[in-house]
Structure 1
Amino acid sequence: MGDPKKIRAKYSGPSHPWQRKRIEDEKKILGSFGLKNKKEIWKMQSRLRSFKAQAKSLISGTDAQSKKEEEALLAKLYNMGIIEQGANMDAILELTLADMLKRRLQSMVCNQKLAQSMRQARQFIVHGHVTVNGTLIDIPSYLVKRIEEPAIKFHETSTLKDPEHPERIKKKKERPVQEKRERRDPRRGGRRR
């Protein structure tokens, strides 16, 4: 059977442990996309970096093989939903981390209004309430393909399928005005201490 393959990291961390701007940017991204830790950011950055490196090497090539590989890369990124139809190699070089993070299942669930927030979307996915093409997926970082976008929905047996479920109803904060008046102490005619 041979030796088992060594499991290698799917990402590379920052080159320097303390860079104020990078740390602040990562903190903003963590909050806006509801990520669990910075490792999720680094994984997406590594994928983006590999796409850009592949595009740079293909741009410099002039033979027929590099043209075929260019078309294959553009088709792959189009199917992933990262670039639009008819985009060129420069579009790949202009991609940002946010473009990659928007394709995560967690972001898609929130954008399709199946959850009220990114954190809630993550919880629904991890707890097994979300399916893609009828397949239960409990990985928030799953990259949704373009053809799978309309097929994101709640699992058939999930209680969240009901639109009247308490977790799906947007809660409105109502401030009852009359309660404030009733809270006055009747003996003194003023407010209670």
Structure 2
Amino acid sequence: MVKSKGKKRYNTPLRPFESDRLISEMKLIGEYGLRNKKELWIFKNITNTTKKRARDLLITNSNEELIFCGRALLDKLVLTKVFGDDVSLITKEDVTKNLERVLDLEVNCFLERRLQHRVFELGMANSVHHARNLIYQRKIMVKGRIVNKPGYVVTGNDEAYIELKEVPEGKKKGEQVAKVAVES
């Protein structure tokens, strides 16, 4: 059986040499330590699809769909801490008001939830580039598991469990362990 290819996770810009967009993309790449523009476009696509879902829910005629799917979308955003904790989902008006706030989200909100940026913000690394190196070197753990993907989206619950992996005393790189000669 042939494995499926999957789907494309990003869309390239229609105008490739638009100067304002190029400048803003390079600022975001430098600020968040992204490797290339593809990583940025992936998170732009996530932002756009989230906004599109919120927009579609706001124009729907079905109250049940608005409340049910709107709560699901807002719960997901609250879980990943993209949205604040002050989200009320009790009435239809609350859901509608919060869905309108989703339309104001920027790509920065999603980029700040990446593991690379979280490690830098928590002070475990000197820069976002240092944080990326620590993650690739498998020195960062989330809930006791090694995560080596800088683009891993950290949920609000997982943020408290981000830690540096402890290196055993005799296994540090670059140090030579003195060998004791055994006399026979």
Indicate the TM-score class for this superposition, using the shorter chain for normalisation. Answer: 0.7 to 0.9
Aligned equivalent of 1:138: 148
In the other structure, the counterpart of 2:122 is: 112
Structure 2: 5+ residue stretches without partners: 89-97, 170-184
CA shift at 1:158, angstroms? Answer: 7.1
Moved over 6 A (4+): none
Q: Is the 8 A contact 1:70 1:89 kept in 2?
A: yes
Residues in 2 aligned to 1:134 and 1:71: alpha-carbon distance in whole angstroms: 31
Match of 1:82 in 2: 82
Segments of 5+ residues of structure 1 without an aligned counterpart are: 160-193
- Higher relative CO (Cα under 8 Å, sequence separation at least 6) belongs to 2
The answer to whether the 8 Å contact 2:57/2:65 transfers is: no
Q: How many residues align?
A: 158
Contact 1:129 1:158 in 2 (8 A): no
**CA distance in structure 2 between the aligned counterparts of 1:56 and 1:145, rounded to whole angstroms:** 24
C-alpha root-mean-square deviation of aligned residues, in Å?
A: 1.4
In structure 1, C-alpha distance between the alignment counterparts of 2:35 and 2:18, rounded to whole Å: 20
The one-character-per-residue Cα deviations of 1:88-141 (angstroms, maximum 9, x if unpaired) are 112211111111110000000000000010000000001100011111000000
Residues 10 and 45 of structure 1: CA distance in aligned 2, closer, same or farther (over 3 Å): same
Name the larger-Rg structure: 1
Please report the TM-score for the alignment, with normalisation by the length of structure 2.
0.82
Q: 2:108 aligns with which of 74, 98, 108?
A: 98
Q: Is the 8 A contact 1:83 1:91 kept in 2?
A: no
8 A Cα contact 1:58 1:66, kept in partner: yes
Deviation of the 1:27 alpha carbon: 0.8
